[in-house]
């Protein structure tokens, strides 16, 4: 049977969903399922490095520790993002939640409706996670889920196109080439001709320079002879300069390219006269607009320059102000000089800005903006001076007003999937509301911060599928920091993913910064496995740890001991360490967690990343761990009891600990990924992951799970930017996986198309084909979708997404079709 | 004749400036008569870079008649092109040495560190990028040139492709060095030192460098 024939007769078992999450970090969640195994593919807006993973809450809560890397925008702020993706019933998944503290710590939390086994792998570019979910035998299957017809092996993960967000950033830069970031230094200039008699650039240079270039005179004293050189600059690369020179060769046959000194560039850009090293003198006399301007032209240029500053289009502001300064005489020169200084300051060109401001004060000491310019100059020069030593001075600078800020979002989600045949359907209709408020104050001695992050779900679906409305409390804590003693404390509901803590808890941490490189921490609390829980007192932990920075000038190290109890039984007695190394172009993170109560290694993981030159990035990962993380509470998996206390009515503590060991199977995974740009517009990336899950024994009435065998996943993707118009991003992806039970091939096209600065369209489609060994079954899935983002203001954003899922599953005599639709829309606002 | 002109250059005033121009013109005529310096290529085994060099460095000299009548300061200069996996770069190597016995005045500022270099090509100065000076040329394991005396001071500065092209068209080349302290020195080509044409042509043929 040809593939086309197969495709025409397939029936659907697999159902899936593409869900754009609430605005923020989670870009999409893609869910598919074969038999008892579901794959959840999560894509982030920024790179998030996978550090660790654990399953708690008797197997219903998976918490994935992440570290935000590569200077994500907003990394200084706390972020919370949550979604209940379409098709989540297939993975018994209730919610996906992402939270990040100011800094780099982040946590991804997957809340399930019933106990599951979860394994997590990272895609090659650090912007995606692949989560494999296996519903624990004996724990039932989700209502409305399709009838399993294949062994509960692995399904191929969904597609995570490599470098999506990175490409988006590039595209965003292309869309906004004027904003903020300083352009690469333009170092090269063309020496057009040299003469011992003065050159009049106004007469000769007209028409030479493009808007981004400058024609100017550079003088050089050789013995008693002063040479005047007509030059055209500046160019980022020698090749750029050569290309420009090629067009001028007929006019200037002896022209040559050279690197301009910083003094020359500064002099030319500022229209100033500077003395270059070695006694040579460079005098910049003219820019492209050297011809005299009319009053109207001058005023128009000045208005444009002001507008460019307001638009943060600093390169344009520099260009316009330079033209004004070069065209003499104009009455607007003073303001043009100030604008030039301001644009250079905000472009990160501090030295040039200082030169402009100094020139302003010399030329216009009593000018309208003189006082303002003096203040800016003082701020710049002060910023470059070493800090004052006086504690009193520092303290008085630290004292700030109270700050209050936060955000709110509301999203409506509706999705419905009809599996056809006897599989039934799954529907959802709900409004998700989330809010966060932060109060902050920095005092002379004490710093205070308080954060509250809460959510509320209003379920509108009704019927059997309905879940109760619920209120969630993600964070509710206060920080108090005593600068003088080096003591800090955080008290309340909070999340921690290191020091042996497995996630959210109600409790306290007290830290003492002994020296800049050593910190001691003591902590205690009550673990919180679901944010909708009130204070849960059946579990508690305590522990202590030491942070050492720059150990041997190479590593950051954390060593910890953590003891956890549940219903007065030892739940976890862990000791471990985490080592981090960050070099210029490479990084390595390794962690180990050992349970000395069970005398069992809980996890060993290492993750490395190496960038070669400016292009090739290679990353590798090794991960061995118990899945779920070994805790005594794992004994509840598959049991009718809801607590260890209940279980103690049936089993002894020793038997319970053995059950916990039986439910905590080992998992090992190796991954290797590479990515590199292949042209200015395209980047290619690929990664391969091999993983294996040990089987778990039949015990305590819970059936055994077999060894998974070796599972292979591979991905190849091509990301193009500005293919159709400036600023767009297109992803073409191909995935292939072989799980032994099935092979799967998928094609994925995803385009982010900016219509305007505020409006972006994101059409996409996935076509997936799977060949299932057992029963000679095949599956075909087509999943189109459209997402629309509209940013009304900096603080307010609207989002809409809709799509469908159409599939067939053919198992010989039987064929099923499935149809699904989803809708997601809402707003988010910051204050 | 050339040496006399070089001495004249160091006189102050307009006479010296005029002398520079005259010297350049006269040197140009000498250079025109000189044979081109043969250029060759070789492969750096360690870096797989193709190195283009001249067989022998060009030789320049500078008189110091106040100290010696028959001894001089010398400056070897030689261009170098490196093509490493398609990435091309051009360099100028300089080796500064002397046959003047300065006795206890070793360290004479006259031969102090070079802080600026200009090539005066057909009378027109071309200042080189001292900010790009290197101790070791990327892609070159062993420098292909060395001065005849081990005490020579070596200096390597980058050139651009168009500077090499301009050199190749020059009929005369004079060097001028600005020293950390002391007066700037003019270095005249030793008779028969040759021109730079072969090197530039070979580089151009090999790399299609922009002209």
Report residue A327's pLDDT band, with 50, 70 and 90 as the boundaries. Answer: low
Cβ contact (<8 Å) for B118 and A242? no
Residue of chain B minimizing CA distance to A195 = B124
What is the spatial distance between Cα A722 and Cα A172, in angstroms, rounded to a whole number? 10
Task: Check CB contact of A388 with chain B, cutoff 8 Å.
Answer: no
The model's pLDDT over A683-703, given as tens digits with 9 standing for 90+, comes to 888 888 888 888 889 888 888
Peptide bond into A667 cis (omega under 30): no
What integer is the mean pLDDT of A258-275? Answer: 60
Cβ contact (<8 Å) for B124 and A194? yes
Residue of chain B minimizing CA distance to A239 = B210
Residue of chain A minimizing CA distance to B176 = A222
Tokens of B155: 């200096």
Q: Distance (Å) from the C-alpha of residue B163 to the closest C-alpha of chain A?
A: 5
What is the spatial distance between Cα A269 and Cα A263, in angstroms, rounded to a whole number? 10
CA within 13 Å, CB half, B61: 19
The model's pLDDT over A388-407, given as tens digits with 9 standing for 90+, comes to 443 334 444 445 677 888 88
More confident call, A292 vs A132? A132
CB < 8 Å to B129, chain A: 258-259
Report residue A311's pLDDT band, with 50, 70 and 90 as the boundaries. Answer: low
Q: Out of A82-91, A215-224, B201-210, which region has the weakest mean confidence (pLDDT)? A: B201-210
Cβ contact (<8 Å) for A254 and B166? yes
Q: Distance (Å) from the C-alpha of residue A215 to the closest C-alpha of chain B?
A: 18
Cβ contact (<8 Å) for A254 and B14? no
More confident call, B134 vs A86? B134
Q: Distance (Å) from the C-alpha of residue B121 to the closest C-alpha of chain A?
A: 10
A776-814 core/surface letters (b: 16 or more CB in 10 A; e: else): ebbbbbebbbebbbbbeeeeebbbebbbebebbbbbeee
CB < 8 Å to A227, chain B: 124-125
Is the pLDDT assigned to residue B209 strictly greater than 50?
no
Cβ contact (<8 Å) for B20 and A225? yes
What share of chain A has pLDDT > 90, as a percent?
11
A661: three-class secondary structure by DSSP: helix
More confident call, A594 vs A133? A594
CB < 8 Å to A278, chain B: 115-116, 130, 178
Is the pLDDT assigned to residue B143 strictly greater than 60?
yes
Q: Out of A62-76, A539-553, A634-648, which region has the weakest mean confidence (pLDDT)? A: A62-76
- Which residues lie below 8 Å from residue A276, measured CB to CB, with a gap of 6+? A261, A263, A264, A267, A282
Task: Check CB contact of A614 with chain B, cutoff 8 Å.
Answer: no
What integer is the mean pLDDT of A752-760? Answer: 81
Facing A242 at nearest CB: one of B124, B128, B162? B162
Q: What is the pLDDT of residue B8?
A: 40
What integer is the mean pLDDT of A131-138? Answer: 64
Facing A258 at nearest CB: one of B20, B129, B169? B129
Q: Out of A146-155, A241-250, A321-330, A736-745, which region has the weakest mean confidence (pLDDT)? A: A146-155
Residue of chain B minimizing CA distance to A281 = B127
Average pLDDT, chain B: 71
Task: Choose from B6, B84, B115, B127 for mutation: most chain A CBs within 10 A.
Answer: B127
CB < 8 Å to B166, chain A: 254, 256
- ipTM, two decimals, is 0.74
What is the spatial distance between Cα A12 and Cα A364, in angstroms, rounded to a whole number? 78
Cβ contact (<8 Å) for B158 and A257? no
CB < 8 Å to A241, chain B: 160
CB < 8 Å to A255, chain B: 162
Is the pLDDT assigned to residue B128 strictly greater than 80?
yes
- Smallest CA-to-CA distance from A257 within B113, B59, B177, B129 is with B129
Report residue A296's pLDDT band, with 50, 70 and 90 as the boundaries. Answer: low
Q: Out of A151-155, A377-381, A558-562, A720-724, which region has the weakest mean confidence (pLDDT)? A: A151-155
CB < 8 Å to A256, chain B: 126, 160, 162-163, 165-166
Q: Distance (Å) from the C-alpha of residue B9 to the closest C-alpha of chain A?
A: 8
Cβ contact (<8 Å) for A259 and B129? yes
Facing A259 at nearest CB: one of B21, B115, B131? B131
pTM: 0.47
Average pLDDT, chain A: 75
What integer is the mean pLDDT of A263-292? Answer: 44
Pair B198, B40: CB distance under 8 Å: no
Tokens of B168: 């190749």
Tokens of A257: 């390219």
What integer is the mean pLDDT of A557-562? Answer: 92
Cβ contact (<8 Å) for B163 and A261? no
Q: What is the pLDDT of residue A396?
A: 43
Of A177-191, A268-282, A736-750, highest mean pLDDT:
A736-750
Residue of chain B minimizing CA distance to A191 = B126
Is the pLDDT assigned to residue A350 strictly greater than 60?
yes
CB < 8 Å to A197, chain B: none
CB < 8 Å to A262, chain B: 131
**Ramachandran angles phi, psi of A307, nearest 5°:** -60, -40
Report residue A629's pLDDT band, with 50, 70 and 90 as the boundaries. Answer: confident
Task: Choose from A190, A192, A197, A223 for mutation: most chain B CBs within 10 A.
Answer: A223
Pair A155, A744: CB distance under 8 Å: yes
The model's pLDDT over B40-87, given as tens digits with 9 standing for 90+, comes to 888 888 888 888 888 888 888 887 766 666 667 888 888 888 888 778
Cβ neighbours, 10 Å, residue A332: 20
Q: What is the pLDDT of residue A243?
A: 84
Report residue A33's pLDDT band, with 50, 70 and 90 as the boundaries. Answer: low
- Smallest CA-to-CA distance from A433 within A414, A415, A459 is with A459
Cβ contact (<8 Å) for A224 and B131? no
CB < 8 Å to A238, chain B: 160-161
Task: Check CB contact of A248 with chain B, cutoff 8 Å.
Answer: no
Task: Check CB contact of A197 with chain B, cutoff 8 Å.
Answer: no
What is the spatial distance between Cα A563 and Cα B133, in angstroms, rounded to a whole number? 60
Task: Check CB contact of A242 with chain B, cutoff 8 Å.
Answer: yes
CB < 8 Å to B172, chain A: none
The structure tokens 């739940």 sit at A571
Q: Distance (Å) from the C-alpha of residue A611 to the closest C-alpha of chain B?
A: 19
Q: Distance (Å) from the C-alpha of residue B76 to the closest C-alpha of chain A?
A: 21
Is the pLDDT assigned to residue B101 strictly greater than 70?
no
- Which residues lie below 8 Å from residue A472, measured CB to CB, with a gap of 6+? A454, A455, A456, A457, A530, A531, A532
The maximal CA–CA distance of chain A, rounded, in angstroms, is: 105
Strands (E), B7-164: 39-44, 49-54, 58-63, 72-84, 87-98, 114-121, 124-127, 153-159
Q: Distance (Å) from the C-alpha of residue A239 to the closest C-alpha of chain B?
A: 9
Is the pLDDT assigned to residue A587 strictly greater than 80?
no
Cβ neighbours, 10 Å, residue A765: 16
- Smallest CA-to-CA distance from B194 within B23, B78, B98 is with B78
- Which residues lie below 8 Å from residue A824, measured CB to CB, with a gap of 6+? A19, A20, A86, A411, A412, A413, A414, A799, A800, A801, A802
Of A21-35, A303-317, B155-169, highest mean pLDDT:
B155-169
Cβ contact (<8 Å) for B162 and A257? yes
Residue of chain A minimizing CA distance to B116 = A278
Q: Distance (Å) from the C-alpha of residue A609 to the closest C-alpha of chain B?
A: 25
Report residue A369's pLDDT band, with 50, 70 and 90 as the boundaries. Answer: confident
Q: Out of A221-230, A523-532, A799-808, which region has the weakest mean confidence (pLDDT)? A: A221-230
Q: What is the pLDDT of residue B191?
A: 64
C-alpha distances (whole Å) from A206 to each of A209, A272, A323, A758 are 7, 20, 13, 39
Residue of chain A minimizing CA distance to B119 = A222
Report residue B36's pLDDT band, with 50, 70 and 90 as the boundaries. Answer: low
Q: What is the pLDDT of residue A55?
A: 64
What integer is the mean pLDDT of A720-739? Answer: 81
CB < 8 Å to A242, chain B: 160-162, 210
Is the pLDDT assigned to residue A385 strictly greater than 70?
no
Cβ contact (<8 Å) for B116 and A220? no
Is the pLDDT assigned to residue A679 strictly greater than 90?
no
**Cα A759 versus chain centre, distance:** 21
Residue of chain A minimizing CA distance to B179 = A278
Residues of B with CB under 8 A from a CB of A: 9, 12-14, 16-17, 20-21, 115-116, 118, 120, 124-132, 158, 160-163, 165-166, 169, 176, 178, 184, 186, 210-211
Task: Check CB contact of A256 with chain B, cutoff 8 Å.
Answer: yes
Degrees, nearest 5: CA angle A471-A475-A479: 150
A–B interface: beta-carbon pairs under 8 A? 77
The model's pLDDT over A467-500, given as tens digits with 9 standing for 90+, comes to 567 788 888 999 998 878 888 999 999 888 778 8
More confident call, B182 vs B122? B122
Q: Distance (Å) from the C-alpha of residue B99 to the closest C-alpha of chain A?
A: 25
């Amino acid at each position: 049977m040809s593939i086309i024939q197969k495709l025409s007769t397939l029936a659907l078992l697999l159902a899936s969903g593409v869900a754009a999450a609430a605005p923020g970090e989670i870009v999409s969640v893609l869910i598919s399922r074969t038999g008892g195994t579901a794959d959840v593919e999560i894509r982030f807006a920024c790179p998030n490095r996978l550090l660790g993973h654990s399953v708690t809450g008797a197997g219903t809560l998976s918490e994935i520790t992440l570290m935000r890397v590569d200077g994500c925008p907003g990394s200084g702020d706390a972020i919370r993002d949550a979604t209940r993706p379409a098709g989540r019933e297939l993975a018994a998944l209730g919610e996906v939640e992402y939270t990040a503290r100011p800094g780099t710590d982040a946590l991804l939390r997957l809340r399930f409706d019933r106990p599951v086994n979860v394994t997590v792998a990272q895609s090659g570019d650090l912007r995606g996670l692949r989560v494999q979910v296996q519903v624990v035998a004996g724990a039932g299957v989700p209502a409305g889920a399709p009838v399993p017809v294949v062994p509960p092996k692995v399904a191929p993960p969904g597609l995570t196109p490599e470098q999506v967000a990175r490409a988006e950033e590039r595209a965003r830069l292309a869309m906004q080439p004027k904003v903020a970031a300083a352009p690469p230094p333009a170092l090269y200039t063309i020496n057009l001709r040299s003469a011992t008699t003065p050159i009049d650039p106004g007469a000769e240079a007209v028409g030479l320079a493009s808007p981004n270039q400058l024609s100017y005179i550079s003088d050089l004293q050789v013995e008693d002879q002063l040479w005047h050189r007509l030059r055209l600059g500046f160019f980022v690369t020698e090749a750029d300069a050569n290309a420009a020179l090629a067009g001028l060769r007929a006019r200037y046959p002896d022209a040559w390219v050279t690197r301009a000194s910083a003094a020359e560039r500064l002099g030319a850009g500022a229209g100033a006269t500077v003395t270059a090293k070695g006694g040579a003198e460079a005098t910049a006399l003219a820019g492209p607009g050297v011809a005299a301007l009319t009053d109207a032209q001058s005023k128009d240029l000045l208005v444009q320059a002001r507008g460019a500053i307001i638009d943060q289009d600093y390169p344009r502001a520099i260009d316009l102000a330079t033209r004004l300064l070069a065209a003499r005489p104009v009455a607007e020169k003073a303001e043009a000089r100030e604008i030039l200084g301001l644009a250079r300051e905000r472009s990160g060109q501090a030295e040039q800005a200082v030169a402009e401001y100094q020139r302003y004060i010399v030329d216009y000491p009593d000018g309208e903006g003189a006082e303002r310019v003096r203040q800016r100059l003082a701020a710049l020069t002060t910023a470059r001076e070493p800090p004052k030593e006086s504690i009193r001075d520092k303290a008085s600078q630290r004292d700030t007003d109270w700050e209050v800020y936060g955000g709110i979002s509301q999203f409506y989600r509706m999705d419905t999937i009809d599996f056809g045949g006897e599989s039934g359907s799954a529907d959802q209709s709900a409004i998700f509301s989330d809010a966060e408020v932060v109060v902050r104050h920095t005092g002379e001695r004490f710093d205070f911060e308080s954060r509250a992050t809460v959510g509320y779900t209003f379920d509108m679906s009704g019927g059997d599928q309905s879940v109760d409305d619920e209120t969630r409390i993600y964070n509710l804590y206060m920080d108090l920091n005593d600068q003088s003693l080096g003591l800090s404390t955080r008290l309340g509901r909070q999340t921690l993913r290191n020091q042996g803590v497995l996630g959210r808890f109600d409790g306290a941490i007290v830290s003492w910064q002994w020296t800049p490189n050593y910190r001691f921490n003591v902590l205690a609390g009550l673990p919180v496995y679901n944010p909708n829980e009130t204070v849960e007192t059946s579990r508690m932990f305590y522990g202590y740890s030491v942070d050492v920075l720059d150990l041997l000038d190479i590593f950051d190290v954390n060593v910890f001991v953590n003891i956890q109890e549940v219903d007065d039984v030892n739940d976890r007695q862990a000791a471990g360490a985490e080592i981090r190394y960050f070099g210029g172009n490479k990084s390595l993170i390794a962690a180990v967690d050992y349970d000395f109560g069970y005398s069992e290694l809980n996890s060993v993981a290492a993750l490395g990343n190496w960038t070669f030159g400016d292009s090739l990035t290679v990353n590798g990962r090794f991960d061995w761990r118990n899945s779920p993380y070994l805790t005594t509470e794992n004994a509840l998996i598959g049991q009718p009891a809801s607590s260890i206390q209940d279980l103690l009515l049936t089993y002894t503590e020793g038997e319970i600990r053995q059950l916990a060991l039986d439910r905590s199977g080992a998992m090992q995974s190796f991954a290797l990924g590479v990515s590199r740009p292949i042209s200015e517009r395209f980047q290619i990336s690929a990664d391969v992951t091999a993983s294996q899950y040990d089987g778990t024994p039949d015990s305590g009435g819970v059936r055994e799970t077999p060894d998974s065998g070796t599972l292979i996943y591979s991905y190849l993707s091509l990301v193009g930017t500005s293919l159709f118009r400036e600023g767009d991003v297109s992803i073409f992806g191909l995935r292939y996986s072989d799980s032994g039970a099935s092979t799967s091939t998928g094609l994925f096209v995803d385009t982010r198309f900016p219509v305007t600065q505020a409006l972006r369209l994101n059409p996409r489609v996935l076509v997936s084909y799977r060949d299932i060994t057992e029963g000679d079954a095949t599956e075909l899935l087509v999943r189109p979708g459209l997402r629309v983002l509209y940013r009304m203001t900096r603080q307010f954003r609207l989002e809409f997404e809709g799509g469908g899922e159409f599939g067939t599953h053919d198992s010989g005599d039987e064929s099923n079709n499935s149809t699904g639709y989803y809708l997601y829309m809402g707003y988010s606002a910051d204050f | 004749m050339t040496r006399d002109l070089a001495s004249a250059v160091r006189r102050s005033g307009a006479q010296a400036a005029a002398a520079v121009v005259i010297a350049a013109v006269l040197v140009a005529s000498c250079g025109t008569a000189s044979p081109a310096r043969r250029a060759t290529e070789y492969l750096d085994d360690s870096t797989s870079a193709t190195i283009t060099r001249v067989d022998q460095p060009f030789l320049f000299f500078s008189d110091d008649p106040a100290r010696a009548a028959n001894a001089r300061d010398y400056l070897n200069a030689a261009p170098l092109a490196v093509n490493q996996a398609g990435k091309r770069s051009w360099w100028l190597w300089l080796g500064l040495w002397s046959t003047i016995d300065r006795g206890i005045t070793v360290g004479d500022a006259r031969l102090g560190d070079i802080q600026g270099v200009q090539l005066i090509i057909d009378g027109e100065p071309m200042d080189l990028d001292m900010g790009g000076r290197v101790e070791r040329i990327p892609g070159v394991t062993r420098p292909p040139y060395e001065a005849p005396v081990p005490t020579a001071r070596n200096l390597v500065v980058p050139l651009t492709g168009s500077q090499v092209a301009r050199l190749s068209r020059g009929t005369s080349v004079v060097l001028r060095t600005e020293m950390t302290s002391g007066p700037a020195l003019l270095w005249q080509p030793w008779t028969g030192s040759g021109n730079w044409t072969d090197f530039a042509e070979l580089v151009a043929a090999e790399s299609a460098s922009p002209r």
